[in-house]
Amino acid sequence: MTTHATQAAQAVTLPASLEEAVAALTAMPAAVPVAGGTDLMAAVNSGHLRPAGLVGLGRISEIRGWQYQDGHALLGAGLTHARMGRPDFAALIPALAAASRAAGPPQIRNAGTLGGNIVTAAPTGDSLPVLAALEATLVVAGPGGQRDIPVSHLLAGRAMLEPGELIAFVRAPLLHAPQVFFKATGRTGPGRATASVALVLDPARRAVRCAVGAIAQMPLRPLEAEAWIASLVDWDGERRLAPEACEAFGEYVAAACIPDPPRPDDGGEAPALAPGVLHLRRTVAALARRALGRALS
Ligand SMILES: Cc1cc2nc3c(=O)[nH]c(=O)nc-3n(C[C@H](O)[C@H](O)[C@H](O)COP(=O)(O)OP(=O)(O)OC[C@H]3O[C@@H](n4cnc5c(N)ncnc54)[C@H](O)[C@@H]3O)c2cc1C
């Protein structure tokens, strides 16, 4: 179905399937997809974006739910934060549910989607550190069929969506183990993250995976800290760690993501971190320590 918005030259297409959406985008390369519109319409309203056409994704039922596939969940890109925050979803991917519950006020969570969160790729996107820690894969639909992209490649700009392509699904592993998402904001109540930490346990691979959000353009993975703490966990036993180990993990994560300034060439003392940066590092350390403690409790 095609209607014409009141603004001249703005065609709005409302496809009912992924195939139709890809066809619409291919037919009008200057058109952009819109899901919940919480990011896109803000850009339009502020005058930053004047798309020649819109392809609305809201009627495509195949991307609004999830299905199971080889030990993974295939999450529709049109899943709203509100839907992912519900208990049945939280039983599958607890960290993504926790991030969705923290993603803005209720009216935003009712409209905003997983796919929109990924494509906007704001540093404060709450789903992004979770997807990084899960090592999720994007399933992209386009004129040539479907292809997979690791989510980290899209966020790092190593892979781009081609003309006519859409994010159709996100493939996330079902780990059947504790997962945590914690977010710090600059104020009480809903707000954008100043720092966030997603942490997942992967008992099958004897791994702890952690990603820190909001402090850089894309989520950061402190790989050495992950490997170190995973080596201390008794995977066949109680999986508990002493508080000192959790504390050290927090410091390790924070120092890896917010390193000390380099030493000067003359070998003198490294300059101190600026107070704001030091505060951010302490926040990351506290979030990572608490996330690990919660996951192992
Ligand atoms: C007041 C307010 C508070 C917010 N607070 C938070 C917060 O706390 N945490 C947070 O993470 N976010 C927050 N957001 C941001 C926003 O709600 C999320 O990023 C949301 O997930 C975007 O989804 P959407 O469906 O609304 O995307 P849209 O606005 O519809 O689209 C965003 C971008 O993604 C593209 N797109 C959408 N779906 C697809 C797809 N399937 N394939 C390809 N491209 C696609 C669009 O073309 C556009 O470029 C907030 C926004 C507002 C306005």
Tokens matching residue 92? 């599958």
Question: Residue 64, by phi and psi: left (phi above 0), alpha (psi -120 to 50) or beta?
Answer: alpha
39 CB-near residues (< 8 Å, 6+ apart): 112, 116, 120, 122
Q: With CA atoms as reference, report the closest residue to 55 among 19, 80, 84.
A: 19
Q: Which residues of the chain have pLDDT under 50?
A: 1-6, 8-9
Give the model's pLDDT for residue 91: 97
pTM for the full predicted model:
0.95
25 CB-near residues (< 8 Å, 6+ apart): 31, 33, 55, 163, 164, 165, 166
> Which atom number of ligand 1 is nearest to the Cα of residue 122?
19
pLDDT tens profile 42-88: 999 999 999 999 999 999 999 999 999 999 999 999 999 999 999 99
Give the model's pLDDT for residue 9: 42
Q: Return the axis-axis angle of helices 243-257 and 275-296, rounded to nearest 10°.
A: 140
Question: Could you tell me how many helices (H) and strands (E) the chain has, helices first?
Answer: 12, 12
- The ligand 1 site (C-beta within 6 Å) comprises 32-40, 42, 57, 77, 103-104, 108, 111-113, 115-117, 119-120, 124-126, 166-167, 192
> Which atom number of ligand 1 is nearest to the Cα of residue 81?
21
Q: Which domains does the chain have, with CATH numbers?
A: 2-56 (3.30.43), 61-173 (3.30.465.10), 179-296 (3.30.390.50)
> Which atom number of ligand 1 is nearest to the Cα of residue 183?
8
State the DSSP H helix or E strand holding residue 112, giving kind and residue range, or none if neither: none
- Burial environment of residue 223 by CB neighbours within 10 A (0 to 12, 13 to 18, 19 or more): exposed
